[in-house]
Structure 1
Amino acid sequence: MAIFHLSVKTISRSTGRSAVAAAAYRTGDTLTNERDGRQHDYANRTGVDDSFIIAPAGCEWAHNRSALWNAAEQTEKRSNSVTAREYVLALPAELDAKDRADLARSFASAVVERYGVAADVALHAPSAGGDDRNYHAHILTTTREVEPDGLGKKTRILDAAKTGGPEIESLRELWAMQCNEALERHQKPARIDHRSYERQGVDEIPTMHLGPTSTTMERRYKTDQERKGEPYKPQTFKAQENERRRTLNDHVREMVRELAATVREVTEQAKNAKKSAVHALLRAVGGQRREEEAEQARREGERRKALRQKALREDRERAVQEAKERMADMAKRVQRLAPDARETFLAGEYPSDPFDRALKAHRHPLGTAGLDAEEKAVKAHLKVYQEQEKSQQAERQKAPVRGRRGPSRSQSRDYDSGPDFF
């Protein structure tokens, strides 16, 4: 799984080191320190996957590794000057070579932008015989701001006691965030955290960082033991302490797993007991509830049936009323027509053709039966009306003519003044 590691170190003359030598060793390059004339040749070194320089915009001269680090050495005049600062980063083994390089470049670019320095990045592969997940990066930065014509003022914010600690903590948080974003972007489940186990609330003892000396000693001893066919046991204090801490952590994790299993078992038993009690209660009241539900369903069915019957009755009454009004209207309409137009009207309203009659019945409130009944009633009313009409005409013809002004108004043929059944 991915691990978090970010350490910040300084390259200082007080310890006999130089920025030129550090850059040559970490990048596998050959550089000459112009200050003392010493050449540092690491061109044959293995394990360096890639190296590149990032500098502020407009500072093209800083991309020359020899010019950059000789400038860093020559600018400092004191015998105990810090000529470079180094960031060591553990790269997630879950990412491929290109993604690891992009991640290291992102962090170095953020440092360059934040402090105005130049960064010389070297990507290292895991050492032979070591942990094959130990991909890491060495980022060597200047301690002064890089300007187009050379190095400028010192970046004191990382050196001061009040600001150095918070700045490094901020960089550690930035690195953790960039790693997690890269892992998420490439759909890797691993995540890292820059905080200590204590700050995270993790009950686990952290292991110690071995460092190059202890790592070299342990690697040499492990190789010797393997050659002799003997089991490997840690030799240095740090390795032995790490073995002890890992053993303690394993014991603690096992205790936690056992405790969690016990808690799950007790919880499951309580849950089963609760389920049994609930089931018993449900069985006790189940019969009564089913009877109540059945009775409620029966009542609901009766209620819905009554509503449907009521709706049917209302629809029927409405249709009958509409049919009565229609029949009365048809009888009045046929009475107002001239005698020779009545048969044509009746033939149109009550056609003998089956198709036409079906269309008429479809529009009638009571359908075919209603149309048939209406036809009979209208014709019966018309027959009675015609007989009365004939009687009135005969009476008018028998009445004597008064005066010479022609027939009176009562004797004129007016088909609207006949008998009315409605």
Structure 2
Amino acid sequence: MRDERTGEAFNGFGRRERVEHVCTMLPEGAPGEYLDPERLFNAVEMAEKRSDARPAKKIMVALPREFDARERFRALEDFISWNITANGYACTYAIHTDKDGRNPHAHILVANRRIDPKTGRWAAKSRSEFALDANGRRIPVIDPDTGRQKIGARNRKVWKRVNVSNNPLDSKEFLERLRREWADSCNALLPGYAVIDHRSFKARGIERIPTIHEGYASREMEKRGGRGDLCEENRRIQALNRLLDALRAMIGRLSDQAQGILTAVKRRQRPSGAPQAPSSPEPAERPQERPQARETPPQAPQEPPKPIRTKKALTDRFKTRLDERLAENERKQAEKQAEPDMEETWDLSDPADPLNIGMGWGTGGHGLGL
């Protein structure tokens, strides 16, 4: 294939003897000259104006080893017809295999622009459309100075516009759909025991680490006695997966043992030979009676909750009792000091002393009789 811009020639196949089939497929309305891959990809290259544009994209699919040459061709052609050319894309595909026939696969080179079926020309990758509000009406562009809708050239009102992609090949949703459709195309031809699932381990709920694509170069290095980095990484991933499988199996056994022990404990707690209460026959239906209010049984008086004794509360209580004791002692001391001394205040010779009168001392009464 020759690049018309630079004049360089490229050979897309490293080993021609391993290329089983090459074909170009076009969408509706495409020029017939594009059946030549060189003309097709030079034309899409010329349609791009930016220096960093991507004129084509490559899709690589693995072909099941259960397929023969005819089934490979059929699965690939059906997939391209339903999902690539039906969406306006032109492409060239090549079916490859290795010398042992153990790695059949296909490369699909897709032009990164759609072809307009009406004109046969390359369509734009995006288009401008009116922006619509929630009610489906166009949104006006307001002039901040006047607060009214802007007026453009030729006295036309200006409406808000947005750019809409016209290249679904750039979207993640379209690529995920291609994965699903390829699995469906292969499963339609595979026998019942072989099924392809396009989903990842995570999407399928499988707790395993996915391996990586090793490639031809890494495997050839291994065949020659060397160590391929990608093959070494896959061996490490496989060892981790075996360890995860062993751990899951151990957890399963421990769970079964714990369940058995729990069942045995429940059986021992249940009294053996205990008669079961006979099931009473269901009573006949009675007419519904008005439910009577149930008497509420008297409840025992509840004790007031005990106060929570914190360190601060105990300290305050001790200080209060100490103050009370000190006040009591002071009161007793004051009373003791206020009492008269009997030896100093009792005058035995004074007949007017209250004590002498009360006891009949010196009055002829019945005294002590000294």
Q: 1:167 aligns with which of 162, 174, 183?
A: 174
**Structure 1 partner of 2:41:** 69
TM-score under structure 2 length normalisation:
0.52
**Structure 2 partner of 1:331:** none
Q: Within 5 A, what are the aligned runs for 1:107-122?
A: 107-122=79-94
Sort the Cα spacing of 1:159 and 1:99 in 2 relative to 1 into closer, same or farther, 3 A: same
**Does structure 1 residue 49 correspond to structure 2 residue 30?**
no
Q: 2-side partners of 1:58 and 1:151: how far apart?
A: 9
Higher helix share: 1
Please give the per-residue CA displacement for 1:65-100, whole angstroms capped at 9, x wherever unaligned.
222122122222322121111111111111111111
Contact persistence 1:54–1:112 (CA under 8 A): no
**Structure 1 partner of 2:233:** 241
Contact persistence 1:83–1:142 (CA under 8 A): yes
Q: 2-side partners of 1:158 and 1:179: how far apart?
A: 29
Sort the Cα spacing of 1:257 and 1:97 in 2 relative to 1 into closer, same or farther, 3 A: farther
**Structure 2 partner of 1:95:** 67
> Number of aligned pairs?
223
Please give the per-residue CA displacement for 1:189-240, whole angstroms capped at 9, x wherever unaligned.
1112221111101111111234x5xx41x23432331xxxxxx6x442x432
Shift in Å at residue 138 of structure 1? 0.6
Q: 2-side partners of 1:71 and 1:55: how far apart?
A: 14
**Structure 1 partner of 2:221:** 221
Q: 1-side partners of 2:166 and 2:255: how far apart?
A: 49
**Structure 2 partner of 1:181:** 188
Sort the Cα spacing of 1:35 and 1:169 in 2 relative to 1 into closer, same or farther, 3 A: same
Please give the per-residue CA displacement for 1:262-290, whole angstroms capped at 9, x wherever unaligned.
8899999xxxxxxxxxxxxxxxxxxxxxx
Q: CA RMSD in A?
A: 3.4
Q: 1:253 aligns with which of 226, 245, 248?
A: 245
- Structure 1 gaps, min length 5: 1-30, 226-231, 269-422
Contact persistence 1:158–1:164 (CA under 8 A): no
Q: 1-side partners of 2:2 and 2:249: how far apart?
A: 58
Q: Within 5 A, what are the aligned runs for 1:200-215?
A: 200-210=204-214, 215=216
Shift in Å at residue 103 of structure 1? 0.8
Q: Which amino acid aligns with 1:204?
A: R
TM-score under structure 1 length normalisation:
0.46
Q: 1:196 aligns with which of 172, 182, 200?
A: 200
Shift in Å at residue 47 of structure 1? 1.3
Q: 1-side partners of 2:168 and 2:85: how far apart?
A: 20
Contact persistence 2:219–2:231 (CA under 8 A): no
Please give the per-residue CA displacement for 1:113-160, whole angstroms capped at 9, x wherever unaligned.
44201111110103x58xx53211111111122357654114455868
- Structure 2 gaps, min length 5: 127-164, 261-370
Q: Is the partner of 1:204 in helix, strand or coil?
A: coil
Contact persistence 1:144–1:151 (CA under 8 A): no
Q: Which amino acid aligns with 1:249?
A: N
Contact persistence 1:120–1:139 (CA under 8 A): yes
Q: 1-side partners of 2:246 and 2:73: how far apart?
A: 38
Contact persistence 1:53–1:63 (CA under 8 A): yes
Q: Is the partner of 1:194 in helix, strand or coil?
A: coil
Q: 1-side partners of 2:64 and 2:166: how far apart?
A: 26
Q: 2-side partners of 1:248 and 1:38: how far apart?
A: 47
Shift in Å at residue 63 of structure 1? 1.2
**Structure 1 partner of 2:340:** none
Q: Which amino acid aligns with 2:16?
A: R
Q: 2-side partners of 1:165 and 1:158: how far apart?
A: 14
Q: 2-side partners of 1:192 and 1:42: how far apart?
A: 29
**Relative contact order higher in (CA < 8 Å, ≥ 6 apart):** 1
Identity %: 29
Sort the Cα spacing of 1:158 and 1:108 in 2 relative to 1 into closer, same or farther, 3 A: farther
**Does structure 1 residue 40 correspond to structure 2 residue 10?**
yes
Shift in Å at residue 40 of structure 1? 2.2
**Structure 2 partner of 1:143:** 112
Q: Within 5 A, what are the aligned runs for 1:1-12?
A: none
Q: 2-side partners of 1:219 and 1:86: how far apart?
A: 23
Shift in Å at residue 165 of structure 1? 1.2
